[in-house]
A and B are shown apart, each in its own frame.
Chain A
Amino acid sequence: MSNELTLQKPSGAAAGSGAPLLSIKGVEKHFPVLDGFLFKRQVGAVHAVDGVDLEVFGSESVGLVGESGCGKSTLGRLVTRLLEPTGGEIRYNGQDITHASRKELAPIRSEIQMIFQDPYSSLNPRHTVGAIIGAPMEINGINPKGGVQRRVQELLETVGLNPEHYNRFPHEFSGGQRQRIGVARALSLNPKLIVADEPVSALDVSIQAQVVNLLQELQRELGIAFLFIAHDLSVVRHFSQRVAVMYLGKIVEIADRKSLYEAPRHPYTHALLSAVPEADPDDNRERIRLTGDVPSPLNPPSGCRFRTRCWKAQEKCSVEEPPLVQLSGNVAGHLTACHFPEEGSTAAVPEPRAEV
């Protein structure tokens, strides 16, 4: 890592104290479903994100996990304001950006950056690496000391690529290297918050570890806050201090990493954890077999949304929606939305492997 980086430390307070860098309250995103010929009528709506509260503090990493279709990527796009929310409120550094216009967003956009999932489709194949990484600076009219090219080469070095490859095209790089280019592009404007949408799921295991290490190193040294969206629970655990579990457009459980992975209270979290295969032949955890698929977000179940797949569901679950609250016996900040929570003592993760 080059030490010549000229990124200013975020002025915000440390994690857990002070005002949050990003605060989301009751955010909703409904995609209209249209039908009819000539005159389109709205016949329904996909409730992709349905009332999510989340806070991200400066230099903190928050993980967001859930199955495909649970709305985690949509939430990421709402935060970067690539999508406009249907309802709720998004505040960045105290400033309301829920419905801010393009012009109003311009200064904030440089502070919130995104890393995309697919390193093959997120880089323009006709642009050189230099042009790709330099583009954000050009668009924002920033002229760094020593010129754009020097800054780009500095960034290439930061992410572990050869600065002489400035003039190469994306197809000349492997998947892991391309993802590093994506990271360099996200860093080019000295962001304070990076939304990383499945940044490593398209990569091979050995390469995945390289990129995770790179991101972690950057997070520590540059103090960037991360919203880390992924479906791989082990990667999220490794990377994030706090983890939120989403199901069908809602957060069902949020906690610091230790209590979420060691004492999950929501049945869904428990089921997700028990489904993760571990590379250990002695792994004899009790497995919860969830049946069926995630229900359609077009027409989500009444009450608790997980009740159609939950083995604990009772009448109350279909009538009353459980609020996201701190249950008795939970540490502060561990919120669960369930009427009949798990004990929390159930060993959801395997016992640490015994030393022989």
Chain B
Amino acid sequence: MTTQAKPEEASSAGSGGDKPFLSVRDLSVRFSTEDGVVRAVDNLSFDVSPGTTLGIVGESGSGKSVTNLAVLGLHNPDRTEITGSIKLDGQELVGASNRELEKLRGKTMSMIFQDPLTALSPYHTIGKQIGETFRKHTGASKKESRDRAIEMLTRVGIPQPTTRVDDYPHQFSGGMRQRAMIAMSLVCDPKLVIADEPTTALDVTVQAQILDLLKDLQQEMGTAIILITHDLGVVARTAQNIMVMYAGRAVERGTVREVLKTPQHPYTWGLLSSMPSLTGDVDVPLRPVRGTPPSLINLPTGCPFNPRCDFTEQVIGGGCTSERPPLAPATGPAAACHLSAAQRQDIFIDQIKPRLG
């Protein structure tokens, strides 16, 4: 494990004017397996400012969850090689000891998991599980932590919190369990919350409730949120910035409006046009991205998206199979594609936009 040689404090690629709370630079995560080295995350950089939400979008296996487990330091150090820099409020997390990370986890940064039924222990009451984090970090008594748990349950909108605090997870419905998860992750007022597909297991009506709740809590407490999802609709409703990931790399970055209204990367075009909408034409077939995502052990050379891309022939010089495009420009909206900006704009207006209806 190596930390980056020169600390790049100067590169403030943050979205707003204020200093980013979390700053990730050139992060790479590799796992050694029997079949070879899995390059789960490759050279990834992003920032999250306080009070804003970054949506990370991508298919399964694109490295979304791996990135965030690296931020939390939850990878097994024996099998994982993490390089680059992760700075949380100025503190370097890559190479930090487990004791240091333990002090941060739950207090400064916390996580909301996808499936609340497997993330909650069936053996302990909801109140005990919420209070545990609080006791550990503040040294509160059992009574105080129980009171805190009730306060948190009230805040996330669980009816009759004084009695529900002694219930077990199986006595809660799916939506209520996810609320309890949120209560648990917010119990120490963390500055950074990572929500990994928080609503994927839920129905649309409950999903809307949970997203509204996260938004309200963010406004109240000024938390920075990383929202990992595969649903562009969820991102459009909650996030300010989007990063689209493909095969462990960021392929597009920008504000919600930039990425959803004027997407630059062929993969983002594919994602947007493969989604059926509530208003689009019904008699035309959907436009899926052809093929399947690549294996992370044996990535295609050059741009990892080139086997599925429809526009490789239009690249002048044909660098798609030989050279990996960088995410450029370094700040603001960016896309990792060999097509020139003018070409991308022409293709988007002529071919992609009409499809989106």
Contacts and interface: CB of A to CB of B under 8 A. Distances in A.
B279 A349 contact: yes
A206 B175 contact: no
Given A209-B274, A216-B285, A277-B237, A271 B279 contact: no
Interface string B233-246: 11111000000000
A293 interface: yes
Contact of A209 (B278, B287, B293): B287
A217 B234 CA distance: 29
A127 interface: no
A41 interface: no
Interface of A: 67-68, 174, 176-177, 204-210, 212-213, 216-217, 231, 233-235, 237-238, 257, 261, 271-273, 275-283, 287, 289-291, 293, 349-353
B292 A176 contact: yes
A273 B286 contact: no
Nearest to B59: A204
Given A281-B260, A350-B279, A208 B204 contact: no
Q: Looking at B59, B205, B272, which has the most chain A CB atoms within 10 Å of its CB?
A: B205
Given A210-B288, A277-B233, A281-B257, A68 B203 contact: yes
B104 interface: no
Chain B interface: which size bin?
35 or more
Contact of B274 (A208, A216, A349): A208
B356 A205 contact: no
A7 B188 CA distance: 63
Contacts of A216: 285
A77 B126 CA distance: 35
A205 to B, nearest CB: 6
A328 B240 CA distance: 44
Interface stretch (B8-16, B132-140, B207-215): B207-215
Nearest to B286: A209
Given A207-B288, A275-B204, A212 B236 contact: no
A353 B234 contact: no
A68 B207 CA distance: 12
A310 B106 CA distance: 38
Given A213-B288, A353-B356, A279 B272 contact: yes
Contacts of B278: 233-234, 237, 261, 273, 276, 278, 349-350
B50 interface: no
Given A213-B285, A281-B256, 4 more contacts: A205-B59, A205-B274, A238-B286, A279-B272
Nearest to B279: A352
A206 B279 CA distance: 19
Contacts of B280: 238
B288 A278 contact: no
A279 B236 contact: yes
Nearest to A285: B278
The 9 A-B pairs of least Cβ separation, nearest first, read A277-B233, A209-B288, A209-B274, A279-B232, A206-B289, A238-B276, A209-B286, A67-B203, A275-B208
B176 interface: yes
B275 interface: yes
B95 interface: no
Contact of B208 (A176, A233, A281, A287): A287
A64 to B, nearest CB: 14
B59 A279 contact: no
Contacts of B293: 204
Interface in B75-121: none
28 contacts: A67-B206, A176-B292, A204-B230, A205-B230, A205-B271, A206-B289, A207-B288, A210-B288, A212-B276, A213-B285, A234-B277, A238-B276, A238-B280, A272-B204, A275-B208, A277-B204, A277-B233, A278-B233, A278-B236, A278-B277, A279-B233, A280-B236, A281-B256, A293-B175, A293-B176, A350-B278, A351-B279, A353-B356
